[in-house]
Copies of this chain bind each other. A is one copy, B any other.
Amino acid sequence: MEILVTYDVNTEEAAGRRRLRRVAKVCERFGQRVQYSVFECVVDATQLVLLIHQLEQEIDTAADSLRIYRLQEPRERHVQVLGQPLVHDQHEPLIV
């Protein structure tokens, strides 16, 4: 299944930026980063359980919010992009 992971963390603090980097690393095992805190992933049911488990290890559940949406498939037919296709690099250096 195709899913979208959106992560709301306060990146004004270094700890928040660190958690976002770790969430990105987890998500990139299953898909790709498309925005600063948005990730498109492809998983089966077992991988979804694994992904959720790994994400729970990284986020601060008392402060952050992470949402996982099931997308209409195929995703490329059901997403529209306005503006730049991939712009998260503006927020942080390429090598983190």
Binding site for B on A (CB under 8 A): 4, 6-8, 10, 12, 34-38, 52, 55-56, 59-72, 75, 78-88, 90-91
Chain A at the B interface: mostly helix, strand, loop or mixed?
mixed
Which of B8, B66, B79 is the one whose CB lies under 8 Å from A88? B8
* A61–B38 touching, CB < 8 Å: no
Instruction: Provide 15 A-B residue pairs closer than 8 Å at the C-beta atoms, listed in order of the A residue.
Output: A7-B35, A8-B37, A8-B38, A37-B37, A52-B80, A56-B82, A61-B84, A62-B83, A63-B83, A64-B83, A65-B85, A66-B83, A68-B81, A70-B72, A72-B72
Whether A80 contacts B68 by the Cβ 8 Å rule is: yes
Q: Could you say which residues of chain B place their CB within 8 Å of the CB of A10?
A: 90-91
Indicate whether A79 sits within 8 Å of B63 (C-beta atoms), given known contacts A38-B6, A72-B72: no
For A86, the chain B residues whose CB sits under 8 A away are: 65
